[in-house]
Homo-oligomer: A and B are copies of this chain.
């Protein structure tokens, strides 16, 4: 039983090729090789907890991931997110490893999924990257896009000047040219590749501002309550991609749009099927595409396995 600290995880992470690993996870999921039961959820007075678990056939481990968000934590000097990942043997049930990542691997695998969505769905020429939100995920999404998208011009939207300034000062040294705005409409007017990464419960981006040839990766909404895009955006979208169709029927932007009758379940395409080539991704630069990422346990399985193996070498 190997206990792996956050420090050890941070040390091995840069040497792991996460994009192909997590792509494999999505393909395993969409081809029925992964068993991923519905997400366990625990609502506490001060926070919420998600338990994601499952396994991929022919792999050595089953994985359980516990991730929490406690919104009052920053007031007492603690990060909002926390959690850990557990690996167990698929052959005997024996615990193999506890990864004390404090929720960091969830952040990373989420950002990597954004990069994967970009790889298959971004327009061939990204003019300007739009980032909606200024938090941890708004930073990580941009960092992991570096490998996939050449564009270095970024427009970031946030509610507070202070957070926008912080975002700028942190991301500019990485080689991005960052403009900031508090007008969300500008994002859809100026950017053709957009990532939304807020915990909003009311739409931030509105269909009246949507332009042809736009891609949006919506990764903020992962519960039935959260919503970043008005349902009109999904109605106008040519290709609506879910990380997991069964999960998106119950949570996220797709759930909201289905509920509003803006899209039909038959219109949905799963990310893993685009990665494997069994269904096409973006086929023209005029299309509007949306990837709704709610987070699937296969991402946790793949990142936990990769980190454990890197630490065991």
Instruction: Point out residues on A near B: beta carbons under 8 Å.
Output: 1, 3, 35, 37, 40-47, 49, 51, 53-55, 57, 62, 64, 66, 68-70, 73, 76, 78, 81-84, 86, 88, 90-95, 98, 100, 102
Residues of B within 8 A of A82 (CB): 88, 92-95
Query: Which of B43, B51, B92, B98 meets A53, CB within 8 Å?
Result: B51
Of all chain B residues, which has the CB nearest A39?
A: B40
Of all chain B residues, which has the CB nearest A70?
A: B93
- Assess whether A73 is in contact with B49, with CB atoms less than 8 Å apart: no
Q: 19 A-B pairs, CB-CB below 8 angstroms?
A: A37-B42, A42-B55, A42-B62, A44-B62, A44-B90, A46-B90, A46-B92, A49-B88, A64-B66, A66-B86, A70-B91, A70-B92, A70-B93, A73-B93, A78-B94, A82-B92, A83-B95, A84-B86, A95-B102
- Assess whether A68 is in contact with B40, with CB atoms less than 8 Å apart: no
Residues of B within 8 A of A35 (CB): 42-44
Query: Which of B41, B57, B88, B92 meets A66, CB within 8 Å?
Result: B88
Alpha-carbon distance A78/B92, docked complex (angstroms)? 8
- Assess whether B40 is in contact with A37, with CB atoms less than 8 Å apart: yes
Contact A42:B54 (CB < 8 A) given known A84-B95, A92-B76? yes
Of all chain B residues, which has the CB nearest A58?
A: B45
Residues of B within 8 A of A86 (CB): 66, 84
Alpha-carbon distance A181/B259, docked complex (angstroms)? 61
Residues of B within 8 A of A53 (CB): 40, 42, 51
Residues of B within 8 A of A78 (CB): 92, 94
A82 to chain B, nearest CB (A): 4
- Assess whether B42 is in contact with A51, with CB atoms less than 8 Å apart: no
Residues of B within 8 A of A102 (CB): 95
